[in-house]
Each structure stands twice: as structure tokens, then as C-alpha cells.
């Protein structure tokens, strides 16, 4: 496991969360928007969204329709608008206007599951509560043989056993970056991969067997 982390860290020394945000609340909103949507698309929407609605106070007072119209280029924008407004209201009413700092409290917010909560805790607060398992982390963890599980929660349970706790956030960011640039879904660039000599899935002809 250490060699995977070392090589990816050397390959991506400046890795960081790709979402644009200035506060934990903005990170929460951006992460909710990023579900089944690219970070690039989210980053096209959030500057204008946060200029108009910068914090939980503003979102809690806004109508769902006014939020939806600002994020209409995002997948499932109507449901996400409902979740974000409801989350903002809960934050104002139950958490004094501050995004919670525990997993138990975060997953109570509408539209927030473990992945989103882990992003907010790790990136927003520097709290290593778990490993973010998005589509890239899932795919690469399977290809690298780090898990045999398919469900994100079960994958996370496997990963936290083998990754040093202080590296949980960084590990996810590294795999996400590598998944975007090299270990892409349909045709991984194994010839350009720094892990090809230790990856059990490298240069495998039948990709379906390792996804």
C-alpha cells in the first residue's frame, strides 16, 4: 500500500480537491451538486451561485425555484435544489448556522451520505473520519486489488484497514486524480501508469473482469 501512495504522491505532488469553495458550507453545496456530475460542470455553476447565495443564511431563505434556476445545467438539479435548501435550513435551525463536524450529524442533512460527509470533514475541516469512495476511487480500488467489494460503504471499510488514517483524505484525492488522467474507465492508459508494474489489472485485455 505504501508504494501506491508514494508513487501517486510523486506523480501528483500538488493534488487537492477540484471543487471551488471558500467555506465548509460552500464545499457542502458543491459536493452535493457533484453527485453524478463532473467537477468541471459544478465549477462552472458555483461562482455565480455563491455570488448570489454565499452562505447557509441565504440558501435557507431562498426558494427552491430560485436555487434550481441557478443550477439548471447540473444533473438532477431540481432534487438537488430541494436538498440544499433543506440542508441549509437544518443547519440554521439545529446547528447554529455552522456545518456540523461529525459524521453522525452530517449524514442527517438532506442530500448527504457518507461520501459527501467525508469530503466535508476531510477537505473542509481536516478531520480524517473515512475514505471518500466516488466512482474513480471505486474503480481504481478494484483494479488495484485493494478490495473485492462493489458497494462504496463496503469498499470504504476495506480501505480504512490498509491505509494510514492520516492519509485517508490524500489517498482519495490521489486516486481521483489518477482516475481522471490515466486509469480512465473505458480505456485505461496502462502504458503511462506509474503503477502498471504492481497493478494486477494492468494491460488486461478483457476489462470487464477487473472493473
Q: What is the set of domains in the chain, with CATH numbers?
A: 2-14+132-209 (1.10.1670.10), 24-125 (1.10.340.30)
Instruction: For residue 176, give the C-alpha cell.
Output: 481521483
What's the pLDDT at 111?
Answer: 95
Cα separations (Å) of 109 from 24, 57, 76, 80, 209?
14, 15, 18, 12, 37
What's the pLDDT at 211?
Answer: 52
Q: Which of 115, 154, 157, 197 is catalytic?
A: 115
Active site residue 115: yes
- Please choose, from the candidates 45, 57, 140, 152, the residue with its C-alpha nearest in 3D space to the C-alpha of residue 95: 57
Sites in the chain below the pLDDT cut of 70: 205-211
How many other β-carbons are positioned within 10 Å of the β-carbon of residue 3? 11
What's the pLDDT at 1?
Answer: 75
What's the pLDDT at 206?
Answer: 47
What's the pLDDT at 2?
Answer: 85
Q: Which of 10, 55, 134, 154 is catalytic?
A: 134
Active site residue 10: no
What's the pLDDT at 204?
Answer: 79
Tell the burial category of 108 from Cβ atoms under 10 Å away from its Cβ (0-12, 13-18, 19+).
middle
Amino acid at each position: 500500500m505504501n508504494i501506491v501512495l508514494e508513487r501517486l504522491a510523486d506523480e501528483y505532488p500538488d493534488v487537492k480537491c477540484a471543487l471551488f469553495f471558500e467555506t465548509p458550507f460552500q464545499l457542502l453545496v458543491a459536493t452535493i451538486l457533484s453527485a453524478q456530475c463532473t467537477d468541471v460542470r459544478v465549477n462552472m455553476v458555483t461562482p455565480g451561485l455563491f455570488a448570489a447565495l454565499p452562505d447557509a443564511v441565504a440558501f435557507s431563505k431562498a426558494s427552491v425555484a430560485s436555487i434550481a434556476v441557478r443550477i439548471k445545467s447540473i444533473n438532477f438539479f431540481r432534487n438537488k435544489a430541494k436538498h440544499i435548501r433543506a440542508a441549509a435550513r437544518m443547519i440554521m435551525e439545529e446547528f447554529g448556522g455552522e456545518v456540523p463536524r461529525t459524521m453522525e450529524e452530517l449524514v442527517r442533512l438532506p442530500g448527504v451520505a457518507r461520501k459527501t460527509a467525508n469530503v466535508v470533514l476531510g477537505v473542509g475541516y481536516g478531520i480524517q473520519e473515512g475514505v471518500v469512495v466516488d466512482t474513480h476511487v471505486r474503480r481504481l480500488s478494484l483494479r488495484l486489488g485493494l478490495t473485492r467489494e462493489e458497494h462504496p460503504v463496503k469498499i470504504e471499510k476495506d480501505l480504512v484497514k490498509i491505509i494510514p488514517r492520516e492519509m485517508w483524505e490524500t489517498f482519495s484525492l490521489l486516486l481521483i486524480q489518477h482516475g481522471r488522467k490515466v486509469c480512465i474507465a473505458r480505456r485505461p492508459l496502462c502504458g503511462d501508469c506509474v503503477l502498471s508494474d504492481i497493478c494486477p489489472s494492468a494491460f488486461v485485455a478483457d476489462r470487464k473482469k477487473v472493473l
